[in-house]
A and B are shown apart, each in its own frame.
Chain A
Amino acid sequence: MRLLEVTDLRVSFPTPDGVVQAVRGVSFGVDRGRTLGIVGESGSGKSVSTQTLMGLTRGATVTGAALFEGRDLLTMPREELRRLRGARIAMIFQDPLSSLHPLYRVGRQIVEMIRVHEPEVGREQARGRAAELLGLVGIPRPAERVDDFPHQFSGGMRQRVMIAMALALNPALIIADEPTTALDATVQAQIIDLMVRLQREFDTALIMITHDLGVIADIADDVLVMYAGKPAEYADRRTLYYRAHHPYTTGLLESIPKATGTRERLQPVPGQPPSLIHLPPGCVFHPRCRHVMDRCRSEEPPMLAVAGEGHRSACWLPGAAVGPGAEAERLRDEAQAAGTRRRDKGEGDVAPAD
């Protein structure tokens, strides 16, 4: 049994303008000692999905199932979920400054967290553990720094405090939502290094949510790409980077300058993501897709198995057409030609940039 198994999760928010369909049927799972990366741009639903698991999306309409250690997080009583949160599942957020209380010493905040879940632990003992944790995440002179306030730490050090807090009760799963986005490159490297090391040490499962394909390349075992509330592609890390199937994944990879330094023109994905209130019919990506076919405009593709084990993609293109190679490109072009009867260019075609 997997540690966490999410099936067909759907989340929507009623608003005065209409129902925002933030997540529309996403399934994923993660095992102990493994890292699942969830990539997507703003509005892709990557954060909402995991916040829903933690019961942090108040007022949302939620359906689906999320089995964690065999119990459904979505239907369990709030009190029970509260006991799990922090103890069995911990969360690290993007902005450590607003996640820490500015008026309390960091030690006290860690102690509080330990004692809420384990009331039998004494104050002094919990304090000792807090200092130990700060040392573990690489904060110098932990015994003294326990008594510092959040503003006395730098951004990277604050994120270490957050990680120490997340580890305090030895959780089985850590959900990290853009943990390095607010940090500089050298600090980001420190934090990723630390997270990988701690994960190995404690055999924790990790869900890493980010928009940064570089971070995913460093840390994830498997990757889920999300677009407009739906899963676009799921694969192991190498497959995703070198043998991607979904045109959106390819588009993302071609949007970033190559590491080799060639100055070939970037190939941005034209247009912009759709409104989550008024979604396009058929495949949600079709208005921006390079390989759009007739059926894409009316039929929504499910996650289909494509070339390679465990590789799935929500796209009507032939399953063998993976990666940037000439053969795959030929397959894609053929499929597109065969699947496009209407030749008239016009409405419904690729939208102009922006």
Chain B
Amino acid sequence: MSLLRIEDVRKYFPIKEGLFVRREIARVHAVDGVSLEVNPGETLGVVGESGCGKSTLARCVTGLHPVTSGRIVFDGQDVTRLSGRGLKAFRRDVQMIFQDPYGSLNPRRRVGSIIADPLVVHRIGDARARRRRVQELMELVGLNPEHYNRFPAEFSGGQRQRIGIARALALKPRLIVCDEPVSALDVSIQAQVINLLTDLQGELGLTYVFIAHDLSVVRYVSDRVAVMYLGKVVEVAPGEQLYREPRHPYTYSLLSAASVADPDASAARSRVILAGDVPSPITPPPGCRFHPRCPKAQARCSTEEPLLLGVEHRAACHFPVEPGERLTGATRSGDRP
């Protein structure tokens, strides 16, 4: 059975206007009907460009945003409308690692007390037991336990991210949502943190939802990958399959656009350069949301919204890319008004 089930989750943010009477004039459709499952022990990668709703989804899953509609089921229990004791118990099981290792640690508090925070909030152990646990955690993530009295400013970016990981692990969670955990780090440090996350998963049997925009990093860490575009999941499949045979034209374009650190491979592939920009999530296009930019779009795409179909490999497209088919950009960059 899946550990986490996201059922048709929607999250809209109201846009209000008016000085005294705040009326809602529009809504940002940040997450618009997403259904996903995460199995115990696996890593589900979520990729997409800025504004696709991947971070909002992460915040809905961890309960930081209340959802507008839909259900989030964790370990068989609906957690979307939890409060009080139930919510607190859920939050022990689900933790989050944030992108910015500078913004997510309070600069005026010592590292030891930052890592101990979850233990204090959940009233676990006394001061001595907590300190022991903090030092254990620091050791586990590759920090020197003697440094628990230092301030965040005394650590480098990579070390700060380790502090964030130690804090996330403090309550022995079962699911960790990683929101761009390595994108703020230098390349050589990125690899250190990725290896750490992989090792911890093996040692502690963790389940990850791994959100990132870097396609090669997601491919490396994920068992399955979901691709989001404008608040919707357009494709989800086992990682290798998705990268080898993308079915959705957006996935195809995204993969072809990504830079690879290999000049020959880079020269050999054909790039689909998408025209224009991502439309506004306030008024998403009707039908398939990708149709205004899609090289395969036909009349039906602008009226009828495609469903996410398939078993293992699911794609929301009326005219999916066939195996072996090569797409070319219908238009060159920016030539279309």
Partners in one complex: yes
Q: B-contacting residues of A (Cβ < 8 Å)? A: 41-42, 137-141, 154-157, 160, 184-190, 192-194, 211-218, 237-238, 241, 251-259, 261, 263, 265-270, 272-273, 352-354
A188 touches B158 (CB 8 A): no
Closest to B192 in A: A268
Taken residue by residue from 240 to 274, chain B's Cβ proximity to chain A (1 for < 8 Å, 0 otherwise) reads as 10011000000001101111111111100001011
B277 within 8 A of A: yes
Question: Judging by beta carbons under 8 Å apart, are B259 and A188 in contact?
Answer: yes
Check B162 for interface membership: any CB of A closer than 8 A.
yes
Using A138-B333, A184-B213 as known contacts, say yes or no to A190 and B274 having CB atoms under 8 A apart. yes
B 274-285 to A, binary, CB cutoff 8 A, 1 in contact else 0: 101110000000
A261 to B265, CA, bound (A): 13
Whether, in the assembled complex, B188 has its beta carbon less than 8 Å from a beta carbon of chain A, the answer is: yes
Determine if B190 is an interface residue (Cβ-Cβ < 8 Å). Answer: yes
Q: Given A138-B334, A185-B49, A259–B262 Cβ distance below 8 Å?
A: yes
- Residue interface bits B112-149, CB-to-A below 8 A is 1, else 0: 00000000000000000000000000000011000000
- Which residues does chain A contribute within 8 Å of B261, judged by CB atoms? 213-214, 216-217, 241, 253, 256, 259
Contact between chains at A255 and B259 (CB < 8 Å): no
Known: A188-B257, A190-B333. A154 touches B192 (CB 8 A): no
19 CB < 8 A contacts A-B: A157-B277, A185-B254, A185-B259, A186-B49, A186-B257, A189-B258, A189-B271, A192-B259, A193-B271, A218-B266, A241-B263, A251-B188, A253-B261, A256-B187, A256-B190, A261-B239, A265-B198, A352-B142, A354-B158
Residues of A within 8 A of B213 (CB): 184-185
**B39 located at the interface, meaning its Cβ lies under 8 Å from any Cβ of chain A in the complex:** no
Closest 6 pairs between A and B when the two form their complex, measured CB to CB: A138-B334, A214-B259, A268-B191, A257-B220, A189-B257, A184-B49
Question: Are the CB atoms of B194 and A266 closer together than 8 Å?
Answer: yes
The answer on a CB contact under 8 Å between A255 and B191 is yes
Question: Would you call A186 and B253 a contact (CB within 8 A)?
Answer: yes
B332 CB contacts on chain A under 8 angstroms? 138, 193
B259 touching A212, Cβ below 8 Å: yes
Residue numbers in A under 8 Å from B257 (CB-CB): 185-186, 188-189
* B interface residues, Cβ below 8 angstroms from A: 49-50, 142-143, 156, 158-159, 162, 186-192, 194-195, 198, 213, 215-217, 219-220, 239-240, 243-244, 253-254, 256-266, 271, 273-274, 276-278, 332-337
Q: In the assembled complex, how far is the CB of residue B222 from the closest CB belonging to chain A, in whole angstroms?
A: 10
Instruction: Kindly identify which residue among B188, B220, B264 contacts A263, using a CB–CB cutoff of 8 Å.
Output: B220
Instruction: Tally the A-B contacts, defined by beta carbons under 8 Å.
Output: 148
Chain A residue with Cβ nearest B240: A261
The answer on a CB contact under 8 Å between A189 and B273 is yes
Cβ of A237 and Cβ of B263 under 8 Å apart?
A: yes
Contact of A256 among B159, B191, B239, B265 (CB under 8 A): B191
Contact of B216 among A141, A241, A256 (CB under 8 A): A256
Q: Are B156 and A257 in contact (CB under 8 A)?
A: no
Instruction: Judge whether B271 and A141 touch: CB under 8 Å.
Output: no
Partner of B195 from the list A185, A188, A266 (CB cut-off 8 Å) is A266
- A155 to chain B: which residues have CB within 8 Å? 50
CA distance A263 to B266 in the complex (A): 20
Check B188–A41 contact: CB distance below 8 A: yes
Known A-B contacts A185-B258, A212-B259, A272-B156; A139 and B334 likewise in contact (beta carbons under 8 Å): yes
Q: How far is the CB of B180 from chain A (nearest CB, A)?
A: 13
Q: How far is the CA of A258 from the CA of B159 in the complex (A)?
A: 25
* Most chain A beta carbons < 10 A, residue from B162, B244, B257, B263: B263
B264, A140: Cβ atoms closer than 8 Å: no
Give the residues in chain B near A237, CB-CB below 8 Å: 263
Give the docked Cα–Cα distance between A340 and B265 (Å).
38
Chain B residues with Cβ below 8 Å from A189 are 256-259, 271, 273-274
- With contacts A214-B261, A259-B261, A261-B240 taken as known, whether A354 is within 8 angstroms of B142 at the C-beta atoms is yes
Report whether A354 and B162 are in contact in the complex, using a CB–CB cutoff of 8 Å. yes
Which chain A residue lies CB-closest to B199?
A265
On whether the beta carbons of B186 and A267 are closer than 8 Å, the reply is: no
Q: A257-B220, A266-B191 are in contact. Are A193 and B333 (CB under 8 A)?
A: yes
* B337 and A140 contact, CB distance less than 8 A: yes
Contacts A154-B277, A186-B254, A194-B333 given; does A272 touch B259 at CB 8 Å: no
Pair B265/A252 contact, Cβ less than 8 Å: no
Alpha-carbon distance A215/B159, docked complex (angstroms): 27
In the complex, the chain B residue whose C-beta lies closest to that of A267 is B191
Q: Which residues of B contact A215 (CB under 8 A)?
A: 259
Q: Check if A156 sits within 8 Å of B277, measured CB to CB.
A: yes
Closest chain-B Cβ to A251's Cβ sits at a distance in Å of 6
Instruction: Report whether A265 and B188 are in contact in the complex, using a CB–CB cutoff of 8 Å.
Output: no
Chain B residues closer than 8 Å to A188, beta-carbon distance: 257, 259
**Considering the chains assembled together, what is the distance between the CA atoms of A179 and B282 in angstroms?**
28
CB distance from B100 to the nearest CB of A (A): 14
Instruction: From known contacts A184-B213, A194-B333, infer whether A255 and B243 are also in contact, taking CB-CB under 8 Å.
Output: no
Known: A157-B277, A253-B261. A354 touches B159 (CB 8 A): yes
Chain B residues with Cβ below 8 Å from A160 are 334
The minimal Cβ–Cβ distance linking B267 to chain A, given in whole angstroms, is 9
